[in-house]
Chain A
Amino acid sequence: MSALLEIRDLHVTHAGRPILDGVDLTLERGEAVGLAGESGCGKTTTALALMKLLPGGFEQTGTMTLRPPGVEEPINVERRTEAGMQVVRWRHVSLVFQGAMNSLDPVKRVDSQIAQAIYLHERPASAKDVGARIGELFTTVGLTPALGRRYAHELSGGQRQRVMIALALACRPSLMIADEPTTALDVVMQAQILELLERLREQLGLALILISHDLGVLSETCDRIAVMYAGRIVETGPVKEVFAAPQHPYTKRLLDSLPVIGGSRELAAAIPGGPPDPGDLPQGCRFRPRCPYAAEQCLEDPALREVRPAQAAACHFAPWAQWPAAHEAAAEGAAG
């Protein structure tokens, strides 16, 4: 069976500046892949490029092939016109944004917003069927159907995020992209939403691209993870492998900078500086100016290559047998 989604060599530029630089991503049916990285690294741009929702001024190249179950011909997203994309969005791929409050219409009852999405994609739908389906959707996401009569402001943050997920599921897509779906929520609500996403994958065979800067969230929900830095994927592999033995210094430093309850209470040294401006990228490895292990070789651009079974990293020195202690010490000094 071929992959549900294949993105090859995706480039996005804005006013000549490279925002995404050769992103490859493959997703099997029912698989959950996490996109990690800091603001501006290209996580959301990847999602928007896939949906062809990038605002004017952005140029995208590369191929994006969708093979939804039950659809004979593969969908070549990159060749679709705007009208052609409207059939793909929501029906095959849906998107849940970060700010649930801002994505719901404040003056419409939430059930009528879901109904609207269904009518748009399935013309002959009868009002009765649509009503029953909305009831089902609400139950699926763990809301009592009566809440459908409410307006967005009458719901809590967690309830609104559930409505957004119901909306995303309305046309039974095979892939859902969730962009920071729990960032605005606190721990308990976050745990509930993550559990819901897990259940949906099981029940509906839904594939998931989860975008988050929170590595903990990704580790609990995803099968694989892709860590992005300055418009590129710098490391990818099964979540467990990447967290147990990161192979790119950036992944390593990101993991170190999160306190883990029960581990060391000492805060690790921060990664010095910030990510580069896409208009002013450093020569060679893009992480080089912030990397404690940088050497002369790093002036040459490292390719993303397999360094351990199923795990790839864009670092000349990978695979790292172990992280050198002397370098660690030097790094602490540089950061402090």
Chain B
Amino acid sequence: MSAPLMEVRDLSVHFRTRRASARAVDGVSLEWRRGEILGVVGESGCGKSTLARALLGLVAPTAGEVASDGASVNGKTALRELRRNVQMIFQDPYQTLNPRQRVATIVAEPLRVQGVDGDHDARVQRAMEDVGLDSGRFLDRYPHQLSGGQRQRVAIAAALVLEPDGLICDEPVSMLDVSVRAQILQVLIELRTRRDLALLFITHDLSLAWSLCDRLAVMYLGRIVEHGSAVDVIERPQHPYTQALVAAVPVPSAEARIREPLSGELPDATSVPSGCRFHPRCPRRFEPCDSVDPPLLAAGSDGQLAACLLHDPKRAPDAVA
């Protein structure tokens, strides 16, 4: 098997403030394979966006390693090479486009930044086609003349113009309306099929992650607490946190549901609880949970991992899920 498109090993990103250190990402190992759609889900503040930014060197890791194609990403040249190969789009298409540039300039910008030779116009045209925007109609427009969905398409076109192998999408559709988001998702799925583009999806929308992703990592307070195929993780969650997250998803259905929302809020990343970091909110905690920090353990289906002592046969009480 070829090396994964990107990989992080024991990655930590800590932000130091005057009084404390926030452990935004705290010992994460993860593989993003070529051509796959990998999802990273969790609540606001769990570290999923910081992880994405660390992949592209937009924040410096405190410890651990980021690798691309099997080689560690070290130094400016490697980083420049990486950013040509892996691009990123963000949540808010209203803030990411320069309001004073025309679409043609915005989409061509990465080519200029990376010093790419050759016919820029042709590549811009192709990127516009890929996202389903008519070049003739849109290249001369300014961002304010576009709808939210069109802006996000332009952002994707600018990310595609370098023909990358991977695209990191940080909540790409959470600000868009239902029908527009379906259109954007269709564009992304087609790109993966046609160009074999790998997607890294950062989202707090579990239904979306479930339907879109091949594999899924669930983050809680800077750690991956569950990992496996998207179907396994969402339909048969093995970590009590994932179970609570899935239970909290509102479902448009005719059936009334009884919900038990998780109480409390995500603790501050400056005061990570001892032992399992989820234990203060966990409905199934038992004796060693406040002192033992659980590693990722095999749980549930093949290849599924959960960082929970319930899955440690030596420790767990009989009532294993």
Cβ–Cβ < 8 Å partners of A38 in chain B: 177-180
CA distance A185 to B235 in the complex (A): 23
CA distance A258 to B182 in the complex (A): 8
Q: Is B250 touching A186 in the complex (CB atoms < 8 A)?
A: no
Closest Cβ of chain A to B301, distance in Å, is: 16
Closest Cβ of chain A to B178, distance in Å, is: 5
Given contact pairs A192-B261, A258-B178, a sample of 6 additional A-B residue pairs in the complex whose CB atoms are under 8 Å apart: A187-B245, A188-B262, A213-B178, A243-B252, A265-B210, A270-B179
Q: Is A216 an interface residue (CB 8 A)?
A: yes
- Across the interface, A187 reaches (CB within 8 A) one of B43, B183, B210, B235, namely B43
Cβ–Cβ < 8 Å partners of B254 in chain A: 239-241, 243-244
Q: Is B18 an interface residue (CB 8 A)?
A: no
Q: Is B179 touching A271 in the complex (CB atoms < 8 A)?
A: yes
Q: Is B250 touching A217 in the complex (CB atoms < 8 A)?
A: yes
Q: Is A260 touching B207 in the complex (CB atoms < 8 A)?
A: yes
Give the interface size class of chain A: 35 or more
Of all chain A residues, the one with the shortest Cβ separation from B247 is A191
Q: Is B14 an interface residue (CB 8 A)?
A: no
Q: Is A186 touching B249 in the complex (CB atoms < 8 A)?
A: no
Q: Is the interface of B mostly helix, strand, loop or mixed?
A: helix
| Interface members, chain A 211-239 (any B CB < 8 Å) | 213-220, 239
Q: Is B43 touching A259 in the complex (CB atoms < 8 A)?
A: no
Q: Is A188 touching B248 in the complex (CB atoms < 8 A)?
A: yes
CA distance A269 to B190 in the complex (A): 12
Q: Is B249 touching A336 in the complex (CB atoms < 8 A)?
A: no
Give the interface size class of chain B: 35 or more
Residues of A within 8 A of B (CB): 38-39, 156-159, 185-192, 194-195, 213-220, 239-241, 243-244, 253-255, 257-262, 265-272, 274, 335-336
State whether A267 and B206 are in contact (beta carbons under 8 Å apart), knowing that A157-B44, A220-B259 are contacts in the complex.
no
Cβ–Cβ < 8 Å partners of A185 in chain B: 44
State whether A219 and B248 are in contact (beta carbons under 8 Å apart), knowing that A253-B179, A274-B149 are contacts in the complex.
no
Cβ–Cβ < 8 Å partners of A156 in chain B: 265
- Across the interface, B212 reaches (CB within 8 A) one of A253, A267, A271, namely A267
CA distance A214 to B176 in the complex (A): 11
Q: Is B2 an interface residue (CB 8 A)?
A: no
Question: Considering the complex of A and B, which 7 residue pairs feature the smallest CB-CB distances, nearest first?
Answer: A216-B250, A270-B182, A259-B211, A244-B254, A191-B261, A191-B248, A215-B252
28 A-B residue pairs with Cβ-Cβ distance under 8 Å, sorted by A, are: A38-B177, A38-B180, A158-B265, A186-B44, A188-B262, A191-B262, A192-B263, A195-B259, A216-B252, A219-B250, A220-B251, A240-B256, A243-B253, A244-B254, A253-B179, A257-B182, A259-B207, A259-B210, A260-B207, A261-B207, A261-B210, A261-B246, A262-B235, A265-B231, A268-B182, A271-B182, A274-B147, A274-B149
Q: Is B297 an interface residue (CB 8 A)?
A: no
- Across the interface, A257 reaches (CB within 8 A) one of B44, B179, B205, namely B179
Closest Cβ of chain B to A145, distance in Å, is: 18
Q: Is A216 touching B249 in the complex (CB atoms < 8 A)?
A: yes
Q: Is B186 touching A336 in the complex (CB atoms < 8 A)?
A: yes
Q: Is B250 touching A274 in the complex (CB atoms < 8 A)?
A: no
State whether A188 and B250 are in contact (beta carbons under 8 Å apart), knowing that A253-B179, A254-B178 are contacts in the complex.
no
Q: Is B272 an interface residue (CB 8 A)?
A: no
- Across the interface, B207 reaches (CB within 8 A) one of A194, A243, A258, namely A258
Of all chain B residues, the one with the shortest Cβ separation from A159 is B265
Residue among B179, B249, B254 having the largest count of chain A Cβ atoms under 10 Å: B179
Closest Cβ of chain A to B217, distance in Å, is: 16
State whether A188 and B182 are in contact (beta carbons under 8 Å apart), knowing that A258-B252, A259-B207 are contacts in the complex.
no
CA distance A171 to B245 in the complex (A): 35
Cβ–Cβ < 8 Å partners of A268 in chain B: 182
CA distance A219 to B266 in the complex (A): 26
CA distance A215 to B204 in the complex (A): 17
| Interface members, chain B 103-141 (any A CB < 8 Å) | none
Q: Is B298 an interface residue (CB 8 A)?
A: no
Cβ–Cβ < 8 Å partners of B183 in chain A: 270, 272
Of all chain B residues, the one with the shortest Cβ separation from A245 is B254
Q: Is B211 touching A188 in the complex (CB atoms < 8 A)?
A: no
Closest Cβ of chain A to B225, distance in Å, is: 14
Cβ–Cβ < 8 Å partners of A254 in chain B: 178-179
Closest Cβ of chain A to B254, distance in Å, is: 4
Cβ–Cβ < 8 Å partners of A260 in chain B: 207, 251-253
